[in-house]
Amino acid sequence: MTYAITFSRVAVSIQAPLITVEADTTSGLPQIIIVRLPETAVKESKDRVKTAIIKAGYSFPNKRLTVNLSPADLPKSGGRYDLVIALCILVAAGNLPEGCLRDFEFLGELALNGEIRFVSGILSATIQTSSTKRSLIVPAANGPEAALVETSLQVFATSSLQDVIAHLLARKPLALAKGKSTGTRPDDTMKLSDVRGQKLAKRALTIAAAGSHNLLFIGSPGSGKTMLASRLGSLLPVMSTEESLSSASVQSVSKYQFDTTSFGVRPFRTPNHTASAVALVGGGNPPRPGEISLAHNGVLFLDELPEYPRQVLEVLREPIESGEIIISRAHHQVRFPANFQLLAAMNPCPCGYYGDNTDSCDCTNDKI
């Protein structure tokens, strides 16, 4: 056998398009060539894959190996393709039977000892694989995340390359991914009834929650603006399954590791006033979601609103109107959802006491 084929998923925004992975061995100088738009981290996988295969007890083919990641127009980054490349090479070298990979999709980064490590974007891949007839094999660390998707899809969690090989050879089946958990609603810890007084502010907060309205609190320091804002989540309705998966998919592809205990809880994001415009809208290479996308289906709270640079506040205009943000770069254009409820708080003047205690306010009219 000199040719092998199987499947994986590439991470593009909160989507996970299918990619076909092929491997072929030919005579020539021993080397691994990865083609079809691999980025640096993917090109470096050849060294990790070779060492992991040897640690698994298999000899590495002393031939020219070509690995093709198709389609070519999708950029491939990160170590998420290590596992699928290693298995394709094993089949192409004749160490695994032909066709044993066709009914699976694989995601996972390989350590040098054959251990399979956590990768981001598993939730999106699981959702889109569920529409196929293939099974999905993911790292054990991603098992609880993949188990959040309620489907007939078989999702197996594994911790090593050796275990995957044993499963494909029908020696020892892998365990199904488990660990589904739901979060705790904010009203279990922060209730509006805990706040004494503030009748008008409570009324405004209730109306804003009922109609998904944006809201601005203006008051002197210590008047309870932040305390009231932190309790908005207790007034919001329970998230639907579709909303929960949509919000979780954004967090899954972010730079933060996904926390399954937050599944079903509306996000409440509070960026500091020193945050840049890129921190709010997202960016990087590849582009990752910013604070407005991480607040999708939840609340974005901007405390000390006048302290934010004008450029930062201006970037909120389009997402508030459209409910999404499009990030365009030289080699990438991605779309992230950003359907959030904006809640802000500010002082009435630089010192904070205008209108509350005029004797203590020394701000000029120009400053106010």
Amino acid at 246: S
Among 229, 197, 6, CA closest to 96: 6
Last residue of a domain, one of 150, 176, 202: 176
Same domain? 163 vs 235: no
Q: What is the pLDDT of residue 187?
A: 46
In a domain, 365, yes or no: no
Q: Are 137 and 105 in contact (CB under 8 A)?
A: yes
- Dist. CA 236–CA 50, nearest whole Å: 52
The answer on 241 and 292 residing in a single domain is yes
Q: Which helix (H) or strand (E) holds 84?
A: helix 82-92
- The reported pLDDT for the residue numbered 181 is 53
The 3-class secondary structure across 31-46, one letter per residue, is EEEEECCECHHHHCHH
Non-local (6+) Cβ contacts of 36 within 8 A are 68, 69, 70, 71, 72, 76
Q: Tell me, yes or no, whether 362 lies in a domain.
A: no
Q: Which of 135, 151, 176 is the endpoint of a domain?
A: 176
| 360 inside domain | no
Is there a single domain that holds both residue 260 and residue 127?
A: no
Same domain, 17 and 164: yes
pLDDT at res. 189: 67
Task: Output the six-digit token pair for 85.
Answer: 């490349």
* Residue 152 included in any domain: yes
Q: Are residues 49 and 152 in the same domain?
A: yes
User: Is residue 29 located within the same domain as residue 150?
Assistant: yes
**CATH code, domain with 14:** 3.30.230.10
State whether 88 and 166 are in the same domain.
yes
Residues 69 and 168 in one domain: yes
The CB density around residue 112, as the number of other CB atoms within 10 Å, is 13
User: What's the rounded Cα separation, in Å, for the pair 215 and 7?
Assistant: 47
CATH number at residue 204: 3.40.50.300
Task: Confirm whether pTM is higher than 0.75.
Answer: yes
Q: Are residues 284 and 195 part of one domain?
A: yes
288 occurs within a structural domain: yes
Q: Does 368 map to a domain?
A: no
Instruction: Name the domain boundary from 125, 141, 176.
Output: 176
Task: Indicate if 196 and 306 belong to the same structural domain.
Answer: yes
Residue 95 belongs to a domain: yes
Domain contains 92: yes
Domain count within the chain? 2
Give the range of the structural domain holding residue 283, as residue numbers without chain letter. 186-346
Distance between CA 301 and CA 307 in Å, rounded? 13
Averaged pLDDT, groups of 10, the chain, 368 residues long: 90 92 92 87 90 94 93 88 96 92 96 95 94 94 92 92 96 87 56 89 95 93 91 91 94 87 91 93 88 96 94 93 88 88 92 74 83
Residues 300 and 341 in one domain: yes
Residue in 314, 319, 351, 346 with CA at minimum distance from that of residue 335:
319
Same domain, 162 and 230: no
